[in-house]
Structure 1
């Protein structure tokens, strides 16, 4: 199992917690309901810009208005209300209350090898918070810390020369290291983290095989629409 910048314990969610409390979520849900069930990029961008004003406000202001070099707009990804209420605000997953199909999820029951990627400058999922996965899993955990931010740290080319990462695996049932000890022991390696992940996948994957023909399994084909974001209207 591979996890990208994913928190399990939300007791230390980082700077984004400044925008998350019960009253704020009530407001966001009301606003989303009035606009058809989702928040558009204009509504979502304010919080992200405030979290990283030196990167997301002032450089844009200088480029767009002082230099007159505007860039095209891009939509931010949808953020599910369940994630905010049950996980970020309630911390239900770490405390054993989060349910799927009427049954609580017990992280301790996960016994497959895990490859966990975290990012040094992540303001949504701080890496020390992400590192808490070690508290819940007894199996082998390969933890990787890469340079960059929440998005560009994960989505980087495998040949990017400006990246570096640290990687250290904890064997199954081994003692848990605190994050600072892990940081001291994991040596920095130059380059993108993707080849390290590819090597881990090769180690834990079976050989390539020919996929079955479409429809051979009896599954119905997926109906696609012109709008790739239409899933946000489904209930």
Structure 2
């Protein structure tokens, strides 16, 4: 920063502060509509008004400093702007007890009880190396009021358990459905409760449903790679689903990084293995990684290289680290809101099943994480035929010649839908694209038709231009789930009698769903 720039910054800072505090004290603050300052104490008292004016001036000054990043290359400029805004949000007076009039008043009203509650919670979260709780953690229990659908584990190895669910119809589709969830989250987003469960909905529609439950690896005890998750994970699950489901083929549905694993798995299948896949559905899945979306803030070569020693030393990418990174993308909603309510105000923490699931994090093997970030996110090699090799087999996503449906969400900040559309030109089979309203989770796996107020777009023109696709697509009201059922039935609508028992003589039921892997307690730090 040269002297002229420094002087200009100082002059702007002085004018900002003088204009703020010379203005009418009773004038409404531009921050008065901000959810962080919605309580009347921020505008009804001189102290609150002073704090808002101070914060407005400080934020404006910080943004002036941030403007010095305009000369940086585009990615570095985005990273710079992100951390400047993160610092501005972190320094909000609402985040500190002595500069939060609402917290001070709450402490007076409760005779200090709110302080005791908040400090106790903070110490508990610090011990767990966790973010502020987003849901009442005592209300939910996996296998009871979460993941409640009846089924059995019919296979397990060191990487995953395979769950088969009890049919809810007398006749089921002849081709069973195998769901591949992300290995960075636990599978029960697909089966939260009876009112939201995608699994239960599919069973009611006559599908014979299987799902993979990835094991949560312990630090220092795992060396599994991307290839292991492809061959000993997805390939094995496809093989077992065919055997237990008494079918030559399966319909494959995958989500997020589970979709990347599924695409890799099909991309290295030999002709006989690929005959087992009747169709492939990819939920919010990148095959082309040319645009990372908001997650790209954390993904560049210097940051990945700097973080690699920590990952290698632990042997895993800790689930809590990933959760914190995702929360930082929308810090006011995902971090500071709960920080204030839990610690400063001592509010009761309400139960929220989706947020409970989101906080129930899982580790990722270090080898798998580094392979994924380096080869897909940094080098974008999944889209290049033969650029990657797994156990001596060249990966080629153009070999995916089965019917494919790519489902993405319009407000997804983790996997941008405009980039997922590019997968249509990379696979060689008949492929379709469906865009639903909502976010990464709320638009896809939690979108029950009985409660959905969303809509979705289908039948867009064959173009890689996302705006042209959306403009030419047909918009329909409701959940996309019934649309998927119609799509897969057009591929094969044969039905057979529902199985009377789960598993087979060769692969008997091992334990009731949701299985032991999903509830295994593993340190996340």
Query: Shared fold (TM-score greater than 0.5)?
Result: yes
Give the corresponding residue for 1:196.
483
Q: Aligned partners of 1:213, 1:149: CA distance in 2, in Å?
A: 34
Give the TM-score of the pair, scaled to structure 2: 0.39
Gaps in structure 1 of 5+ consecutive residues? none
1:55-74 counterparts in 2 under 5 A?
55-64=333-342, 65-66=344-345, 68-71=347-350, 74=359
1:13-162 counterparts in 2 under 5 A?
13-35=292-314, 37-41=316-320, 43-64=321-342, 65-66=344-345, 68-71=347-350, 74-79=359-364, 80-81=368-369, 82-96=371-385, 97-156=387-446, 157-162=448-453
In structure 2, the residue corresponding to 1:155 is in which secondary structure? coil
Preserved CA contact (<8 Å) 2:502 2:509 = no
Give the corresponding residue for 1:165.
456
Give the corresponding residue for 2:468.
181
Q: 1:177 to 1:39 in 2, by over 3 A?
A: closer
* TM-aligned CA deviation for residue 31 of structure 1: 2.7
In structure 1, the residue corresponding to 2:377 is in which secondary structure? helix
Q: Aligned partners of 2:471, 2:413: CA distance in 1, in Å?
A: 22
Deviations 1:32-59 (A, max 9, x none): 4444534032x22221112122431343
Larger of the two Rg values belongs to structure: 2
Give the corresponding residue for 2:252.
none
* TM-aligned CA deviation for residue 90 of structure 1: 1.8
* TM-aligned CA deviation for residue 223 of structure 1: 8.5
Q: 1:134 to 1:213 in 2, by over 3 A?
A: closer
Q: Aligned partners of 1:147, 1:54: CA distance in 2, in Å?
A: 23
Deviations 1:46-77 (A, max 9, x none): 21112122431343234334461325762234
* TM-aligned CA deviation for residue 191 of structure 1: 1.3
Q: 1:66 to 1:169 in 2, by over 3 A?
A: same
In structure 2, the residue corresponding to 1:57 is in which secondary structure? helix
Gaps in structure 2 of 5+ consecutive residues? 1-279
Query: Does 2:288 match 1:9?
Result: yes
Give the TM-score of the pair, scaled to structure 1: 0.81
In structure 1, the residue corresponding to 2:434 is in which secondary structure? strand
In structure 1, the residue corresponding to 2:435 is in which secondary structure? strand
What is the total number of aligned residue pairs between the two structures? 226
Preserved CA contact (<8 Å) 2:460 2:470 = no
Preserved CA contact (<8 Å) 2:410 2:439 = yes
